[in-house]
Amino acid sequence: MTDPLRKPSRKNPVERTRKPTLPAATRSRTFHGMTRAAAEGRFELQVCHECRQVQYPPRDVCGYCLSHRLQWSEVDRSARLVATTVLHHSNDVYFRERLPWRIGTVQMTVGPVVIAHVHPACQEGMPVQLEMKLDRSGNAALFAVPQELPPHYQDDPMMREMTNNVKFRRVLVTDGKSGLGMAMIRTLLQTDASIVFLGDPQPWRPSPAFNTLLTDSRVQVHSMDVTDSDSLERVAAEIGGKVDVLINTADLLRDGGMLGTNTISTASDMFDVSCLGLLRLAQTFGGAMAGRAADGVNSASAWVNIFSVHAMASLPSRGVWSAAQAGGLSLSHCLRAEMQMAGIRVMNVFTGPVDYEWEQTTPPPRVAPSQIARQIVQALANGLEDVYVGDVANDIRERLRSNAKALERELAGGN
């Protein structure tokens, strides 16, 4: 049984903040097959194509028949906890600051014996299930949890170190007036988020639905626009040192390819939001969040960027917008590399067509903003890094993996 997480006491601004530390980060290229699976919330290990033996740790040839034909596949995550120990001392600085830390030997049903982080609700000899999590250095780690998850199991300090649950955290939604932004706010208010900061890029535009959300005492609204550096600097000076999770919901969608009627000014506006807007946010809020990555339970935790799945595969009828999305995705990868040094998770969310005013003529299936918001909150709680929302996004992901050139031709033909 895990005790419910209690709301942390107010941080003492005079007390020295710990320098951010990370667990050991060196891994082989082969190992990062596990990292890829953990980033998307899957449980995959290598399976030998010849003898069908499951491999752990990841290796270049089969440990049983020496075949090099190893495939990453979903495997049964059930196991039995053989033995445990609790570390009360560690020479590693990261773990030394977070002791005690529980680890154990786990016998998987599919064969391998692994060393895993162990949830306190697990007892020796009992059946458990393994989860694949990303640690603070961005590498996959195995975590043993009970097969029947107890209430508040994610409140365990070890589990919280590897996830980004919004519980008792302060969250900034950059554009709270958009359809997705308001759905994000409603979902966050249903959790135990401590404070929800809202960006309002158009204070002059009335919105009764938006005003209704402001009646909650946890909501604080700020006039900010990702295309206006001055507004971002003003807001960052006020709340930049308080934001634990930043969710960038800003977007500008317009139709048109390169040879159509789309003007350069419209293209510039889309790039200004999706690319330069993300750059401005990183320059104004990124440093403060990275500096607070070691504040214990009050630490900055995650940065969420929301893209269309066409950032990965251009849609010719919206080619310029797809390019702006792709540029934002490239900047997000850069931000992830820089934030990784502080242990802050940068999560990319890829969606299909969203069910709002600019997609009214798009044939279904479309994704409801509320569905995107719920999956973002769940993905944060699970510590994911890449999230695909909706049938279209998942379909394009699979088509990219199977035959990217065929997908390019199909999208050009409108399929």
| Residue-wise pLDDT tens digits, 362-376 | 778 889 999 999 999
pLDDT level of residue 151 (50, 70, 90 thresholds): confident
pLDDT level of residue 361 (50, 70, 90 thresholds): confident
Predicted confidence (pLDDT) at residue 223 exceeds the cutoff of 90: yes
Q: What is the mean pLDDT of residues 189-211?
A: 91
Query: Residue 380's pLDDT is what?
Result: 96
pLDDT level of residue 262 (50, 70, 90 thresholds): low
Predicted confidence (pLDDT) at residue 413 exceeds the cutoff of 60: yes
CB atoms within 10 A of CB 201: 21
Q: What is the mean pLDDT of residues 148-176?
A: 92
Do 186 and 369 contact (CB within 8 A), yes or no? no
Euclidean distance between CA atoms 290 and 299, whole angstroms: 9
Predicted confidence (pLDDT) at residue 14 exceeds the cutoff of 70: no
Query: Residue 11's pLDDT is what?
Result: 65
Both tokens of 372, joined, read 């995107």
Q: What is the mean pLDDT of residues 52-81?
A: 95
Residue that has been written with the tokens 């699976």 in this structure? 37
Predicted confidence (pLDDT) at residue 12 exceeds the cutoff of 80: no
Q: What is the mean pLDDT of residues 291-303?
A: 82
How far lies 331's CA from each of 47, 65, 122, 305, 389, in Å? 35, 43, 41, 10, 21
Domains located in the chain, CATH noted: 30-162 (no CATH), 170-412 (3.40.50.720)
Per the prediction, the chain carries an average pLDDT of 91
DSSP 249: -
